[in-house]
Amino acid sequence: MARKPLDYEELNENVKKTQYAVRGELYLRASELQKEGKKIIFTNVGNPHALGQKPLTFPRQVVALCQAPFLLDDPNVGLMFPADAIARAKHYLSMAPGGLGAYSDSRGIPGIRKEVADFIQRRDGYPSDPELIYLTDGASKGVMQMLNTIIRNERDGILVPVPQYPLYSAAIALFGGSLVPYYLEEEANWGLDFVNIRQTVSEARSKGITVRAMVIINPGNPTGQCLSEANIKELLQFCYHENLVLLADEVYQQNIYQDERPFISARKTVDEIYKVASIALSPNVPGQIFMGVMVNPPKPGDISYLKFSSESKSILESLRRRARMMTDGFNSCRNVVCNFTEGAMYSFPQIRLPPRAIEAAKRAGKAADVFYCLKLLEATGISTVPGSGFGQKEGVFHLRTTILPAEEDFPAIMSSFKNFNDSFMAQYEGYSRM
């Protein structure tokens, strides 16, 4: 019998090579356990609302009114919506002929791209051109459009940090390019070491790879660091001299949990992306309006200003406390060391696994960090992602957890982790190594 065209053997090799750990073995096992009735704490994906974070009121009011514009003609609208949300909804509807049910320009609604440019100008202190701004359905789609445009064949290399968010390795595999990994320096708070990066580039070149672009993730995912200004300056000079496209993933720029190292952006223009963007006709329009509200939030004096800022502030303050509790919690555990989560939504502790644990993992046919994370999941319901899903140095093991569980659950979660880790270490270290 002939093979069917969708049989595994007959599929695109690039699709088969693609890996995506944040929705991989650990996640699938956690979903099974949940179906069996076990309480699972999902810390595998940075998905704050799924873990109870409340939405900001003002953007939701604005988008609800845009979704149902007939509400604006209802005599009771003023009872349920503040005047500034009503005004803002009218403002966005005037920019979007046909409302939220119509395709917009493929690059996004011009008026909202203008609001994004104004935000960038305020942030960086010099002008930003709305014509160079493309709105996409989330950062993943934008990254994929760029990489698809850049990568020509398997000899085109993309510098990607290790550890990295696996979107990058997945997209590079899917488009048939070569991943050129550079290591972040855990001892230097996950910073960039250009001596190392230069050596990585020359090794890649000696293998016939044309290094075309460099990815940074700042604040880091899964590593949670904020890059220093000196590091970013060196990065820009490096990309300029080496003729690299800089892909700066800065989605967590508002999630900063310390004051010494504020977020600093890197910027680079794009070209020839319009055609790829236009195939999907339009990024989703409610998403564009949320973008407009977030880059142009209520201002002092506006009716919704106090509510919006106190909601935002309380989310960020709670995350800052959770970042601290999680880092401190990990660092109080045997054989666990963890850099402080300076930004983003992740903690990436290093787990120093005893040799016997590594051997037990090998016997079970698992990577050692996958073995540890599965045991953690079974014992505690805490669903994490093994460091091997993001990349790490040979023989060094990590896990990634979000800092997103509800703040009041933190003491119980950290103590449950500590109990598990204690007994895991006791089991695999044995008496002789105490």
- Using CB under 8 A as the binding rule, the residues of this chain from 268 to 327 that contact a copy of itself are 270-272, 275-276, 278-281, 284, 286-287
Three-state secondary structure readout of the chain: CCCCCCCHHHCCHHHHHCCCHHHCHHHHHHHHHHHCCCCCEECCCCCHHHHCCCCCHHHHHHHHHHHCHHHHHCCCHHHHCCHHHHHHHHHHHHHCCCHHHCCCCCCCCHHHHHHHHHHHHHHHCCCCCHHHCCCCCHHHHHHHHHHHHHCCCCCEEEEEEECCCCHHHHHHHHCCCEEEEEECEHHHCCECCHHHHHHHHHHHHHCCCEEEEEEEECCCCCCCCCCCHHHHHHHHHHHHHHCCEEEEECCCCCCECCCCCCCCCCCCCCCCCHHHHHCCCCCCHHHHHHHHHHHCCCCCCCCCHHHHHHHHHHHHHHHHHHHHHHHHHHHCCCCEECCCCCECCEECCEECCCHHHHHHHHHCCCCHHHHHHHHHHHHHCEECEEHHHCCCCCCCCEEEEECCCCHHHHHHHHHHHHHHHHHHHHHHHCHHHC
User: Phi-psi category of 190—alpha, beta or left, where left has phi over 0 and alpha has psi -120 to 50?
Assistant: left
Total binding residues toward a copy of itself, as defined by CB under 8 A = 80
Interacting residue with a copy of itself among 32, 98, 331, 433 (CB under 8 A): 98
The span of 74-82, 197-205, 328-336, 405-413 binding a copy of itself (CB under 8 A) equals 74-82
With 0-12 / 13-18 / 19 or more C-beta atoms within 10 angstroms meaning exposed / middle / buried, residue 357 is buried
The span of 51-59, 230-238, 255-263, 413-421 binding a copy of itself (CB under 8 A) equals 51-59
Give the x/- contact pattern for a copy of itself in 198-237, rule: CB under 8 A. Answer: --------------xx------------------------
Asked if the bond preceding 222 is cis, omega within 30° of 0, the reply is yes
Choice between 55 and 355, CB closer to a copy of itself:
55
Interacting residue with a copy of itself among 37, 94, 97, 301 (CB under 8 A): 97
Interacting residue with a copy of itself among 43, 106, 128, 339 (CB under 8 A): 106
Choice between 19 and 415, CB closer to a copy of itself:
19
With 0-12 / 13-18 / 19 or more C-beta atoms within 10 angstroms meaning exposed / middle / buried, residue 143 is buried
Rounded Cα–Cα distance for residues 23 and 335 (Å): 27
Residues 340-399 that bind a copy of itself (CB under 8 A): none
Choice between 135 and 361, CB closer to a copy of itself:
135
Interacting residue with a copy of itself among 37, 101, 125, 301 (CB under 8 A): 101
Q: Does 171 bind a copy of itself (CB under 8 A)?
A: yes
Choice between 18 and 228, CB closer to a copy of itself:
18
In the complex, what is the shortest distance from the CB of residue 264 to a copy of itself, in angstroms, rounded to a whole number? 23
The span of 136-144, 221-229, 384-392, 406-414 binding a copy of itself (CB under 8 A) equals 136-144
Q: Does 95 bind a copy of itself (CB under 8 A)?
A: no
Question: Do the beta carbons of residue 180 and residue 190 sit within 8 Å?
Answer: no
Q: Does 34 bind a copy of itself (CB under 8 A)?
A: no
Choice between 27 and 397, CB closer to a copy of itself:
27
Residues 174-203 that bind a copy of itself (CB under 8 A): 174-175
In the complex, what is the shortest distance from the CB of residue 331 to a copy of itself, in angstroms, rounded to a whole number? 30
Q: Does 83 bind a copy of itself (CB under 8 A)?
A: no
Choice between 24 and 181, CB closer to a copy of itself:
24
Choice between 94 and 243, CB closer to a copy of itself:
243
Interacting residue with a copy of itself among 34, 149, 296, 416 (CB under 8 A): 149
Residues 241-270 that bind a copy of itself (CB under 8 A): 243-245, 270
Rounded Cα–Cα distance for residues 115 and 122 (Å): 11
Q: Does 87 bind a copy of itself (CB under 8 A)?
A: no
Choice between 80 and 306, CB closer to a copy of itself:
80
The span of 63-71, 316-324, 332-340, 353-361 binding a copy of itself (CB under 8 A) equals 63-71
Q: Does 6 bind a copy of itself (CB under 8 A)?
A: yes
In the complex, what is the shortest distance from the CB of residue 377 to a copy of itself, in angstroms, rounded to a whole number? 18
Q: Does 47 bind a copy of itself (CB under 8 A)?
A: yes
